[in-house]
Amino acid sequence: MRIPLIPGFDQEAFNKYFKNTGMLFVGRVGSLLIKMLVGISVANYLGRAQNGVLYGGTVYIYFFSAIATLGLDQYIVKELHQFPENRDQILGTSFRMKLMAGLACIPLIWLAYQVYPAKGTPYDYVFIFSTIGIIQAFNVIDSYFQSEVQSKYIMQVQITGNLVSAAIKLGLIFYKQPLLWFVYSYAFDFVLLAVGYYLTYQRKTRSIFKWTYSNSLAKKLLIYSWPLIISGIMVSLFMKIDQIMLQNMEGVKEAGAYATVASLSEAWNFVPIVVVSSLFPAILNARRDDPERYRKRIQHLYDLMVYLSVPVAIVVSFAAPLIYKLYKPEYAYAAPVLSVHIWSGIFVFLGAASSQYLIAENFNKLTFVRTGAGALVNILLNLVLIPKMGMMGAAIATLAGYASATFFVLAIPRLNNQGLMMLRSLFLFSLFQKLLKRE
């Protein structure tokens, strides 16, 4: 496949990784469409108030997801890529680490709820969601198939799991079940994925019962990943703190309407993760072999992030009123909020790309510094804007938080060149330069 109109990676590298990226996209897009349609149905069935109660319980899971995953996913792929003969040890060690971290998150989530409870959301719901961290330990299998460039298996698991999940939720709506059953069903989604990963991995002489644990490898992985754990906590804060602050300051109905905005806007955030994780090996190869080629690939990656995110932001901004016609009229006033919130995706895309540069250059510690700055901006603006503007204030605070986190590198002398490269992409300088050369 040849794509001559978009500047990016050279054709050879593109062809090498396109198939794997395409498989990931198919799986994620299929899952996205299913989840969006079901999410709209559930929101309409529950109404604003109960929808707010439901999503108020999920917020705590996002806060601690970085601890539950230990920031290991990228490093698992890297270790498997470098030492494929140690597969069982790498997967076994990572699995046990994630399992223990998931267990540790349960009391931490309880403590967080005691300190800052979501008004209207019972702790029983939060506890059910808190078990998800344990179940997600099976995601190490996802990392294995990524390292083998066999994402078609992950695609199959995700689409099958989401189809079963959709059938369950639609069944609950049809039989008019209470909110508690929807809480169980959302937690059960992760059980479905875990079972799918397990069954897929067990094929072709592979077995999780051959996995082993290594103390030295665990220490090595933690040394690499701890900055990403802290960074992940900060990211979770400024991704979801607005939801719980809005619920406590404006009530569950406002939070329920805002949950539809966040779910629609953030639905696209898997795109940069898929693209960057699939193309990261090509970036590392260029760094090793050709510094100039490496710099160009980073610039091209930033360009690609803008080319993907800006059209989505423009289309959704204008289409927001039409999108909300799929919801009950009580949600319609959230359409303008979506038109603002969707623009934060541009900075999510650029931030995902620049994070890979920080990892490649061993600047891992700076990832949590900049995400911490973004979280601080978001929280402070939420405190000021939510009382005055409601959920529109939360959307503006989120947009400002993402932008400040992404371009925080401008304040760091040894990294401000990356900020300038992102600005170059954001203002389409690369595209204009390419067009002028053709004339």
CA dist 282 and 297 (Å) reads 9
Of residues 185 and 231, more confidence is placed in 185
Buried-state track 48-70, b at ≥16 Cβ within 10 A, e below 16:
bbbbbbbbbbbbbbbbbbbbbbb
Of residues 3 and 233, more confidence is placed in 233
The angle subtended at Cα 31 by Cα 337 and Cα 143, nearest 5°, is: 110
Cα 431 to Cα 156: distance, rounded to the nearest angstrom? 36
Nearest to 162 by CA among 46, 30, 326, 293: 30
Give φ, ψ of 325 to 5 degrees.
-70, -15
- Residue 3 falls within a domain, yes or no? no
In angstroms, what CA-CA distances link 163 with 31, 156, 264?
Answer: 8, 11, 19
Distance CA 351, CA 418 (A): 11
The winner for highest mean pLDDT among 195-204, 334-343, 426-435 is 334-343
CA atoms of 352 and 274, how far apart (whole Å)? 10
Instruction: Tell me: pLDDT of 367 over 80.
Output: no
pLDDT at 75: 77
Percentage with pLDDT > 70 across the chain: 88
pLDDT grade for 12, boundaries at 50, 70 and 90 = low
pLDDT tens for residues 404-417? 989 998 888 888 88
Mean pLDDT of the chain: 85
Helices 73-82 and 270-289: angle between axes, nearest 10 degrees: 40
Per-residue 3-state assignment (H helix, E strand, C coil) for 324-393:
HHHCCHHHHHHHHHHHHHCCHHHHHHHHHHHHHHHHHCCCHHHHHHHHHHHHHHHHHHHHHHHHHHCHHH
C-alpha to C-alpha distance for 186 and 82, rounded to whole angstroms: 36
> 321 is written with which tokens?
């009123």
Note whether residue 365 is domain-resident.
yes
**Is residue 2 one of the residues assigned to a domain?**
no
User: pTM (2 decimals)?
Assistant: 0.83
pLDDT at 6 over 50: no
Maximal CA-CA distance, the chain: 65
Of the chain, the percentage scoring pLDDT greater than 90 comes to 46
- The arithmetic mean of pLDDT across residues 340-345, rounded, is 94
SS3 251: coil
Predicted pLDDT of residue 15: 52
Domain total in the chain = 1
Q: For helices 87-115 and 73-82, what crossing angle results, to 10°?
A: 170
Residue 32, domain member (yes or no) = yes
Helix-strand-coil percent breakdown of the chain, rounded to 5?
85, 0, 15
Domain hosting 229: range is: 11-438
pLDDT tens for each residue of 53-112: 999 988 888 888 878 888 787 778 778 878 888 889 999 999 999 999 999 999 999 999
- Res 439: pLDDT: 54
Across 356-377, average pLDDT:
80
- Centre a 10 Å sphere on the Cβ of residue 417 and count the other Cβ atoms it contains: 13
> Is residue 4, in this structure, part of any structural domain at all?
no
Angle at 250 between CA 247 and CA 253, to 5 degrees: 70
Assigned domain for 210 exists: yes
1 found inside a domain:
no
Residue 80's pLDDT is: 83
Checking if the pLDDT of 232 tops 80, the result is: no
User: Tell me, what's the pLDDT at 94?
Assistant: 93
pLDDT at 127: 95
Helix/strand/coil for 4: coil
142 lies in some domain: yes
